[in-house]
Structure formats: C-alpha cells, structure tokens
Amino acid sequence: VVETVDTVATTRWLTLNNIHYRDRFGRSRQWNAVSRTTKTDQEADAVVILPRLIKYGEETSVLLVKQFRPPVGAYTVELPAGLIDSKETAQDAALRELREETGYHGSVSMVGPATALSPGLTDETVKIVCVDVDLDDPRNANPVAQLDDGEDIEVEMVAQSKLLD
C-alpha cells in the first residue's frame, strides 16, 4: 500500500518520485519511480501503434520507425508511438501520431487495454493500437511525415513474415 510520494526532482517532461509504501508483510519500503509531467486521469498516457501495410495482391508488411534515443545512446527500431493529448482518444492519438511520424493514413482495427510496459521504472501506461494502412489509398501514395522539432525518424517497412527475423 502506497503511503506517501515525495518529489525528488522535476524537469519539463518528467518527475522523479520517492515512493514510501508497505509490502504485503507490513514492512515499510521505498521505491524510486519516474512519472510524466503530462500525466492526466485518462485511461492511458500514450499509444504504441502496430501499423499493418496492406496492398492488394502483396504480402502484408509492418511499418517500423528508426530514431535516435538519447537514454540508450543509440538508434532504435521500434513501433511508432506517442502521447495521448488531453481530451483525445487512444484511437485518435494513434492515427495522428502515425500521420505525423510516417505520413501514412490508416484506420483503427483494434485497441488493446491500458498496460504498463516498464512498471519497475514508471507509472506510464500505454494502449497498443492496431492500424490498417491501405497502400492502394491515394493518400498513402507519397507519404510525407510531419515531424516535431528535434524528431529525426526514418520509416522502415518489414514483411510481416520476416518481422521477428
């Protein structure tokens, strides 16, 4: 049971907290965790998008993004993702983030439940949103990303059958 949460430090995007709690045996314990300063009472903080690229007569592909991630000091290949804006649904955030990061337009085929991907570090929750991208749609003929300042994203298409290779 969490008893108190003390803020240790805050930046524009993150807060480091020292959490005081009691374990199931009644022992007093402490834990350090990070929270987003943008956290609201929404069902989830962010979306992770699984974009399936579908073209008539061709194998389905998955769209991945490659970008530099300072915390790991390297480029990572990952699924597109982003924060859910205030008063925005996970579906709307997924479609917006996909357009911004890749230029592609799609339709939501499934939304998973809110889940914590790194609960030992942060209280951030995400929803995994599957988006079907119709490559026969004229809007997807020449996609142009609309990146925020500081974003450097390359788009990679991987055949679904080779995704785990």
Residue 107's pLDDT is what? 98
pLDDT tens digits for 36-92? 998 888 889 999 999 999 999 999 999 999 999 999 999 999 999 999 998 899 999
Q: How far apart, in whole angstroms, are the C-alpha atoms of residue 6 and residue 32? A: 10
Q: From 136, 134, 156, select the one nearest 145 (Cα to Cα).
A: 156
Indicate if the pLDDT at residue 165 is higher than 90. Answer: no
pLDDT at 152: 87
What value, to the nearest 5°, has the Cα angle with vertex 115 and ends 17 and 14? 30
CB contact burial 127-142 (16+ within 10 A = b; e otherwise): bbbbbebbbeeeebee
pLDDT at position 40 is 86
Task: Provide the whole-model pTM.
Answer: 0.91
